Structure 1
Amino acid sequence: MLLGGCAGTPNQRRAEPYRFDTVSNSCRQSPANCAALAGKETVGTTLAAAATTGYVVVRALEDPARDLVEAILVECADLARSEVLLRHRRDFAAQSPTREECNQQVRDATGRRVNRAALLGTEMHLVALRCAKERLGMLRPGGFSLEPHYRYDSESGRTTHIPEKDVAALRESGNASELWGTLAPDVVIHAGSPFQIQAVYDFKFPCFHLDGMPRWDTYPPEHPHQKLNQGQLYKAALRVPPLRVAPRIGVER
């Protein structure tokens, strides 16, 4: 969740500025599209096989579903930045933090010392995910997951999904370290199960400027995937090009 730098010359695609009411109206006006938008596709033996083997499979998300999903995610990113900066307004000399203010050491909710960029990024992620849960839940109930966990074996190329109840059990039992090295993209759009991936998105929140899309985070030394950055690993493990979503910037390919 650390706020990264900027790519040199982004090839960005800003989702059209739909309002959420417009998204809902589109469903009502085009009933033929609503089953797909709600993640109610018939997946038949493919999904059954995925659930049995534990492997993920890919079924591409197509327009107009993609445009509507991305419009919601962009709105949620914009909302998150505005809400969190307003919450911390007294901490900045101007409306937005400067580079120096982003690098200042502060304490997070647990009392740990972090730079302000990390603190703001964490809070913005929470707001964006809450927004996505509400709005995607109305658009395509059962057709998305937030921060689903996957385990990727680079040697075999095998990717397995870890059920949410198992993730919760590990955390509650104090064994969250067992999740070390797993992947948890912010938003996975799927056809009714995290095994049937259609699109993958990650929120990115620059701290002191919005001139370009933040880079994918690189995994640190001694991490199981230390030679890859986040985007490279998502693509290898989940079989779809992951997309970044940033406030005021949109969705970058």
Structure 2
Amino acid sequence: MSLDNTISTPLFQQLAATLRAAIDAGEYPPGSRLPTENELCERYSVSRVTVRKALDELSQGEFLVRKPGKGTFVTEKKIQRKLDGVLSYTNMCYMMGYQPGAKTIRITLEQPTEEERGQLGLKKDEQTLVVERLRLADGRPMMLETSKFPESFFFLFNADLTNTSLYETIRKETGIVFTRSDKVLEIVFANHQEAKYLGVVKGYPLLSIKSVVHDQSGEHCYLGRQLCIADKFKLMV
């Protein structure tokens, strides 16, 4: 296969566009290794300088990652997370072409802290329902999700939340739609248990997103914390 050296577009840009099209078409899926520089030179009848410039351009565009001594690999698509408004993880995955999934770790009742009691507007003797789940994309761990609800959501205690949207489950049961959230973001490092669930090493950087999420009327809310594998998400402001 040859590129067209009779047009004004530089060969390295033509090659970069050709490789990008092959990636988009699934010829080189996420995590796969591209042919070697020599193989690309032979396949497209170009110099090694042209190949390197094309690979550099795709690496800068976050389509490829070059690993010394190992080769050039297609990066995994990062899940784009908008910070304004409320969008379920399930819908975020669908928008990026991933199959969302969820594994329930625990559903339990807990005594809230004083801060949580104030945020949720709870009385002194009221408990919270805690739902902790591992969220997946195409079967791969992406984040740990912990949600704390007031007593009006205790119907979730017996709900099957495996591979289902929590927001959709709540909407179907109550008609409540969450529309606004106040968020606090910070970088934290995985402890032993978090690392085990997420399939990373202890101390791996995680993006922590703490939220107070409100419904359309402002009457109902819950507290959320998401621990995201930092290099698998792209934040959009």
TM-score (norm 2): 0.27
Pair member with larger Rg: 2
Please report the TM-score for the alignment, with normalisation by the length of structure 1. Answer: 0.26
